[in-house]
Amino acid sequence: MKQYINLFRKDKVVGYSDYYDNIAWVLNLIGGLLFIAFLIFSYLQYQVQTQYNEALAKKTETTLFLKNNSKNIASINIFMNGRNLLYERIKNDSEFLPYYTKLKEIVAVTEEIPNIDSIVIEKDKSTKFIIRYKTYTSALQFVHIIESETFLSNFTKLKLSSFNLSKENSNGGNEPDYVFNFEGNFKIFDKK
């Protein structure tokens, strides 16, 4: 009798071979998933390392720049502080000069030019000033001037807070100086 080998027929082998095939398939799947996870984590680690190297290079460049330009940066800081102080001063400025000039013009109408001993002008234009005359005639002329409408029109409010005869004579003579202390508010005027 002849025996033939049928290569197209599959005989089932009794035993654990089906289980081994399933286990092999699952292990191959897990291995493939682990390999894909390894590739993903490798890519992410490469990206993080690249960003770290870029940040380190930028830090090194910035440190070198600061080291080389520290004098310039200090000068810029000094300039900026000065600029900020100037802006603050301008913001709080009482515009002293135009009002001081106006006061000098107002009191200079007598034959003697008086001394303005002190003057304070605040931002709200409130003022305190002391005027000193050396002679009696000039002081008397000034009294007539301060009562005039042209003098008072420069102030919203003005009062003579005190009048003194100073024993310390500024001209070296025997006659005392005549000292007028005023308090009040300037009118806001055009500072052309």
Give tens-digit pLDDT for 65-121: 888 887 887 888 888 898 888 888 777 776 778 888 888 888 887 778 888 888 888
Q: How confident is the model at residue 135 (pLDDT cuts 50, 70, 90)?
A: confident
> Which CATH superfamily hosts domain 96-186?
General secretion pathway protein M, EpsM (3.30.1360.100)
Lateral strand order in the sheet of 177-186: 115-121, 126-133, 177-186, 155-166
Q: How confident is the model at residue 171 (pLDDT cuts 50, 70, 90)?
A: low
Judge residue 178's burial from the number of C-beta atoms within 10 Å of its C-beta, 0-12 exposed, 13-18 middle, 19 or more buried.
buried
Residue 55 pLDDT exceeds 90: yes
Q: What is the pTM of this model?
A: 0.51
Residue 127 pLDDT exceeds 60: yes
